[in-house]
Structure 1
């Protein structure tokens, strides 16, 4: 079985995340997509994140109607801050019969050479890249790499940051979030201040 790992803080998970995950599940050779909730991205400040449990619960709510997409809290058990290379080594050991691949936007691919041990990741795992607007010129070393697969997924320019700011400013974000996620955010008064 080939698993696509879609990492994110999902703060909150929104319809853009689901559209990309579902596209990868339906239009690539990946059998399942695991939405890996990151407890602490080394590139993001911890204090902007909702509690890990709440973000994981929102991913559960968002994905329960998608049989090929499942939430993962695998990084909650690993040392902080998390690095993708460590997570993949752990997963490969825990699930030796699975093949793991990375899913990332073009913008992340452009900074991929700055990731910890990126050469090891590229040597051992396929990378599925979805398009982003304004991602700049693609780094030449990755342009025709055999492990990098470009997937023509819809371009979704929607960010969790924009949604959090909108909620804080009293805007209606209902169309941007899965219904159950919106209800959970509203019920708990998340992102209001």
Structure 2
């Protein structure tokens, strides 16, 4: 099977993540999309992250009605911070029957050459890039495929701040994720 890996802190997962994942799944030759919850992104500060198991649970709730989507905690069991090449290598060794590829926002693609062993990623894995506001399609490589997807600017930071201030996050999150955040009193 061909598996698209959507890495993220998902702090929290929101409607923008789901729209992007569904659009890329629908418009490519992928068989599944795995949401890889990253415990610690090497480019982000840890202090704003809620516990990884809460973030994983929210992903599970958000995707439970889509049998093409799967939540993955693979990086929970790996050294931290998480580096994409290490996770790709590990998954490829554990699941040699699958072909893995990577989802990337064009904003992250502009920083891609700063990633650990980015050349190996380009050599061994396809990358599906979706547009982000203010970013141009300037990275040209045979492994990079631009996907026509909605230009979304939904921000997890905006959602967290809204929750902290008591504002509605309806329509920004799947209902079950919104209920989970409320029930567990997350981001307060």
Among 156, 159, 163, which residue is 1:160 paired with?
156
1:190 corresponds to which residue?
Answer: 186
What are the within-5 Å matches in structure 2 for residues 39-188 of structure 1?
39-135=39-135, 137-139=136-138, 142-143=139-140, 145-188=141-184
* Separation of aligned partners in 1, 2:3 and 2:169: 31
* Separation of aligned partners in 2, 1:88 and 1:176: 30
What displacement does 1:107 show?
Answer: 0.6
Secondary structure (helix, strand or coil) at the match of 2:171 reads helix
Q: Which runs of 5+ in 2 are unaligned?
A: none
What displacement does 1:138 show?
Answer: 4.1
1:11 corresponds to which residue?
Answer: 11
Normalised by the length of structure 2, the TM-score is 0.98
Secondary structure (helix, strand or coil) at the match of 1:175 reads coil
CA contact (8 A) 1:33 1:68 kept: yes
Runs of at least 4 residues of structure 1 off by over 6 A?
A: none
CA contact (8 A) 1:163 1:173 kept: yes
What displacement does 1:155 show?
Answer: 1.2
Q: Which runs of 5+ in 1 are unaligned?
A: none
Size of the aligned set, in residue pairs, is: 188
